[in-house]
Every structure is written in C-alpha cells, then in structure tokens.
Chains A and B, each alone.
Chain A
Amino acid sequence: MLDRLREPWSDQRAERTLGALACLVLIAIVLMIVFVAVRAWPSFHHNGLAWFSGRGDIDQQIGVQVNTGANPTRADYTIGAWPLIWGTILTTGFAVVIGVAFSVLTAIFIVEFAPGPLRRLIVPVVRLLAAVPSVIYGLIGILVLVPFVTNHLVGEGRKESVQYVINLSGTGLLVSVVILTVMITPIMIAIIVDALYAVPRGWKEGAVALGVNRWRAMWTVSVRAARPAIIAGAVLACARALGEAIMLSMVSGSKGFAPNPADGITFIFEPLRPLASTIVEDAESLNAPAVQATVYSFALLLLASSFFLSIAAWIAKQSMRKYGVR
C-alpha cells in the first residue's frame, strides 16, 4: 500500500487532496462560528440590543448568574456588557496606537540609521522578543510594574478622590497598556522592517538625487510605500491584543468597571477587565446555563470584532491601491 503512495502524484490527485484539506479548514472555522453563535443565542435573545449597554455592575450580574446555578429564570440572563467592551477598546486601542508609532520609528532607525553592528544586534533581539510567551510579560508586570505603580504613582489623594466608586490599586489601565504595547511591538517592528527593505532602491535613490536628506527620503517615500505592511502589522497586533486573556487578567485589576475619562489622570489608574480575560475567569462556572450563554456571547463578539478588523484593513488598503502600492 505504501508503494502506491510513493509513485508520483498526478495533478488531479494533488488538486483534490489539497483542496480537501483547504475545505476542511474552512469547514472547521464555519462550524466553530456556528457552535459559538448557537450557544450565545439565549443571551442576545433575552437582552436584545441592551446587551451592548451598561446596565449596572456587570460583576454582580455575572455573580447572580453563577449563583442561580442550573435553573436560571428569564431575568437572570440580564447582562450589560458595555464595561467590558469599553475596557477592551481602551487596552487594545491605546496599545496598538502607541505600538504603531513606536514600531515605525524603530523600523526606520533599524533600516536607515543604525550602524552595522547595532543593526546586527537589534534585529535578532526583536525577533526573539516577538516569540516570548505572553505569560512572562504578565509575571514581570505583577512583580515589577504593579508594586511600582502602587507605591509611587497612585497617591492617597488620588485614591480618596474615587473611593466611593472604586478601589485603586496598582493594577489597571496604565500597567495593562504598557505591557500590552511591549508585547505587540516586536512583531510589528519585524513586519515593517521587512517591508521597508522591500521598497525598490530606485525610489529612494531618486528622492536622494533630488537633494532630499535620508530621513525625509525614508519618511516621504519608503514609509508611504510600506503603508499596506504597516496596516497588516497593526491588524496582526490588534488581533493578538484582543485575544490576550491571562496576561491581562493578571495586571488589569480584574474588575468589570468602565474607566471614566472624565476623572482626568486618575483614569489611567482605574481597574478594568477586557472581554477575553472575563471569558477566562468565568470559564470554570461554565455549567450554569446563564453563565454559559453570557461567556459564549462574549466569545461571539470577539470573533465578530476580528472579522470587522479584517474588513477595516481591506478598506484601508483599497484607498492605497491607486498609487500602485502592493
């Protein structure tokens, strides 16, 4: 039997086998989405559009769902997920924006301005950082950053100004964004560096021949040409940040609280909890039907947001197509 597999494959056989494998992947993804949507349906059915609003303390709502156990009533399915959605938007948004800015500038330095020995050191180190498991960043966060913020940055006056609303400790938005940025930046740097190297030399040489200095040539020619890659890197980093669950549950303060920008600087110290961290923390009570519907509805929202992210990236790249940029 093995001899039959070893004879050279015809094009037809290769096409059918590889096509079957590709379809298998497609079917798996569709099945996954359908499974999550079916389990999440009760939560959306009982809440309607109010699911997306903030209707009170979400931790207390989930607590009620855990305590009702096996026989929830209709009212037990009540959930207002806005604090978690806002927490996810804040952490992911800040991390990606700061990360993109940082990555582009670092990539320009690596490609154009770094002396040879420094470049040969930085590039492997960046690629190594991109491979570090995220839990290690979480450990460094709780062991180093959180005590630093608790003891030196959050003063008594700040804690007392919000004490009737929320407990302030070191864990919160600031530490989450810092660590998430450090986590997603290396992969963006690697992608943008590769894209900058791929810009045709003639384009840059043309700019320099016109009398423009190296920084302006990089900024106006190479970075503009690498915009699709910057968007691709940003989307990849955004997807990684959206899915980051355990690291953020360690450093974000783990409270279903919507940080209030009107608090001024205190806003960055307030605790929060993104969607993925909530899923991880409530996963052990998954047998209670109301908790199951709620957790799967969060999962469906995360799946939908990945989908919308891809569409947004596609739209952004469409506007660049007229310049002939890949």
Chain B
Amino acid sequence: MSRRLRLLGVSAIVAGVAGAAIPATASAVPVITMSGSTSVAPLASLLAKGYLKQYPGRVKFKLAQGGSDVGVADVAAGRVSIGNSSRDAKSSDPGGLVFNKIAKDAICIVTNPNNKLPNLSQSQIQAIFSGQVRNWSDIPGATATGSINLIVRTAASGTQDAFQKIFMGSSNVFSGASAKASNGLVQSTVKSDPNAIGYVSQDFVPGTHAVSYQGVGCTLATAKSGEYGGVRNFWMVTRGHPRPASPLQKFIHWAQVSSRAQKIVATHWVPLK
C-alpha cells in the first residue's frame, strides 16, 4: 500500500477515536446509576423521567434490575449510586448503607383470571404456599381443578423477603414451587397457567386476578388507607448519606418531598404523605 494511503488511513482512525472521545468528556453530565428491585424499577423509571422533565439536562439516569439483594450489594460495592430495595434493611447487609424510604407498596396474591378466588386468610395462604394443601378442590371458592402450581420468586428478591415476613411468618415456602426471577415473569406465568397462584407487587396485577387478603381487596385505595395488610416499603439505598447539594442528594430529596414526585408515586403506589 502506498505511503500516502497509509498516512490517510492512520489519520482517519485517529480522528475517529478523538471524535468519539471528545463528546464523552465534554458532556460531563453527572450520571446516576441504579440497580436492584424489579418491584421498584417501574417507579424508579417514572421518577427519573419526572425529574428530567422538571430539571432537564441536570443528570443522566441508568437503570438496571436484578432483585433487591443485588441492588444492596451493588451499592455497597460502589458499582451503582442507588440500590433499589423492596425489603427493609437486614442485619446481614453490608455496613455504612443508608435506606431512604420513597414509597410504600402492596403485595397482591394473584391467580389466573379463570380462577377467581374471592378471599384468602393468612392461615390459608400459609397452608397453600407451604405445600400442606396441594389441590384446588381443597380451597373454598376456587373454580380451578387439579393440583396447585405455586409460583414464587428467587432468593435475591425483596418481594420474596417481604412476602415471607408479612404473609408466611415462620412457615417455609414449599420446596417444589417454581421460582421466577422477576415480577414480570410471575405475572406472565400466572396469566397463562389456569392452576397457578403467586404473589406480585401491586403494579404487576393487570392480566391476573388479585385475591382479597383477610377480607380486604388488594387495590391502591385500600393500600393507601391502610386497610390492606400486605404493605411493604420501597427504599433507595445509598452508601452513607449523599453529600449535601450533590446531584444524588438533590434527586433523592426531590423524590421524597416534592409534590410532583408524590403525584407520580400516587399513580400506582402509596405515597409517603
């Protein structure tokens, strides 16, 4: 290849690399990275969009999921700025973490739309999910027949932690249950399987039938009024308190107190105030 052609090629590559690098350094907009709970993810994404609408161009958001335990571990290791968690702080969590509450959420027990169970008491839920009762014919009010297909969550899930604490108490979940990795997968499995029963965050109920718990229906109204018994907290976990006036602290403060953020939360979740 001639010398001129080679020089041209090298300078084109260098220009290309420089052209790609310069916008990256010149933008320098702070990035807020989030990972963690699949239950908090829809709310986190709406809050991020609402924040950018009110203060455009101030920050950039990157959202990942993985489950509450993954979020807590990621933020403790410094891999993300915010870990979304749908379970409360545990004693086994790494030290130095600050849990900032942003909303409350209901967990609904769901069945297939063709199997409209009217109501379940706590002892019935414990009997079903621990594997003592295995047939739909033993549940009053169930229209499905055959064996119960239990759909639960994997170990990293905060929804699973909250379900265990609120509904199961000291009973263990049946070991033969199918474990899914996200709310969405539980929702789609329960939608398609007539014999399925599972639990999801309230935002993921559409397409399934939400069962009343102890006589109270699982709706946004009953969760807000406090009648529904299966309500748990949503947290945004940070490593220590965010520095005052930093973009991270401004976002979390906005999410907790501003009226626009509360309006966003009130669409599908229970606001703090």
Residues of A within 8 A of B (CB): 57, 59-60, 62-64, 66-71, 156, 159-160, 163-167, 169, 253-255, 257, 271, 281, 284-285, 287-288
Contact, CB under 8 Å: A60 / B175: yes
Cβ of B177: which chain A residues have Cβ within 8 Å of it?
167
Contact, CB under 8 Å: B67 / A284: yes
Contact, CB under 8 Å: A156 / B178: no
Q: B60-110: which residues lie under 8 A (CB-CB) from chain A?
A: 66-67, 69-70, 72-74, 76-77, 90, 92-94
Given contacts A284-B67, A285-B73, contact A156 B147 (CB under 8 A): yes
Given contacts A163-B147, A166-B176, A169-B178, contact A69 B155 (CB under 8 A): no
Given contacts A67-B92, A69-B92, A255-B179, contact A284 B156 (CB under 8 A): yes
Contact, CB under 8 Å: A254 / B146: no
CA distance A24 to B73 in the complex (A): 36
Given contacts A66-B155, A169-B178, contact A159 B69 (CB under 8 A): no
Q: Given known contacts A69-B94, A70-B94, what 14 new A-B pairs fall within 8 Å (CB)?
A: A64-B155, A66-B155, A67-B155, A70-B93, A159-B146, A163-B134, A165-B176, A254-B179, A281-B154, A284-B70, A284-B156, A285-B70, A285-B73, A288-B69
Cβ of A166: which chain B residues have Cβ within 8 Å of it?
176
B157 CB to closest chain A CB (Å) equals: 10
Among all A-B residue pairs, the 3 with the closest Cβ atoms: A63-B155, A163-B147, A166-B176
Cβ of B147: which chain A residues have Cβ within 8 Å of it?
156, 159-160, 163, 167
CA distance A167 to B135 in the complex (A): 12
Contact, CB under 8 Å: B155 / A160: no
Given contacts A167-B177, A288-B73, contact A69 B67 (CB under 8 A): no
CA distance A60 to B179 in the complex (A): 11
Given contacts A57-B175, A59-B179, A284-B70, contact A66 B146 (CB under 8 A): no
CA distance A58 to B73 in the complex (A): 22
Given contacts A69-B72, A159-B146, A284-B66, contact A167 B176 (CB under 8 A): yes
Contact, CB under 8 Å: B155 / A167: no
Contact, CB under 8 Å: A169 / B155: no
Contact, CB under 8 Å: B134 / A253: no
Give the dominant DSSP class at B's interface. loop
Contact of B128 with A by CB under 8 A: no
Contact of B150 with A by CB under 8 A: yes
Cβ of B150: which chain A residues have Cβ within 8 Å of it?
167
CA distance A287 to B79 in the complex (A): 11
Cβ of A255: which chain B residues have Cβ within 8 Å of it?
176, 178-179
Task: Give how many B residues have a beta carbon under 8 Å from the other chain's beta carbons.
Answer: 33
CA distance A32 to B77 in the complex (A): 25
Contact of B208 with A by CB under 8 A: no
CA distance A227 to B72 in the complex (A): 55
Q: Tell me which of B66, B93, B135, B175 contacts A163 (CB under 8 A).
A: B135
B190 CB to closest chain A CB (Å) equals: 12
B6 CB to closest chain A CB (Å) equals: 9
CA distance A22 to B272 in the complex (A): 63
CA distance A64 to B175 in the complex (A): 13
Given contacts A167-B177, A169-B193, contact A70 B149 (CB under 8 A): no
A162 CB to closest chain B CB (Å) equals: 8
Q: B187-209: which residues lie under 8 A (CB-CB) from chain A?
A: 193
B154 CB to closest chain A CB (Å) equals: 8
Per-position 1/0 for B189-233, Cβ under 8 A of A: 000010000000000000000000000000000000000000000
CA distance A8 to B69 in the complex (A): 60
For this complex, 5 residue pairs linking A to B, each with C-beta atoms less than 8 Å apart, are: A67-B90, A67-B92, A159-B146, A159-B147, A284-B70
CA distance A285 to B73 in the complex (A): 8
Cβ of A257: which chain B residues have Cβ within 8 Å of it?
176
Contact, CB under 8 Å: A59 / B69: no
Contact of B113 with A by CB under 8 A: no
Cβ of A165: which chain B residues have Cβ within 8 Å of it?
176
CA distance A156 to B134 in the complex (A): 13
Contact, CB under 8 Å: A167 / B178: yes
CA distance A121 to B74 in the complex (A): 53
Contact of B131 with A by CB under 8 A: yes
A61 CB to closest chain B CB (Å) equals: 10
Cβ of B135: which chain A residues have Cβ within 8 Å of it?
160, 163
Cβ of B77: which chain A residues have Cβ within 8 Å of it?
287
Contact, CB under 8 Å: A169 / B73: no
Cβ of A68: which chain B residues have Cβ within 8 Å of it?
92
Contact, CB under 8 Å: A285 / B92: no
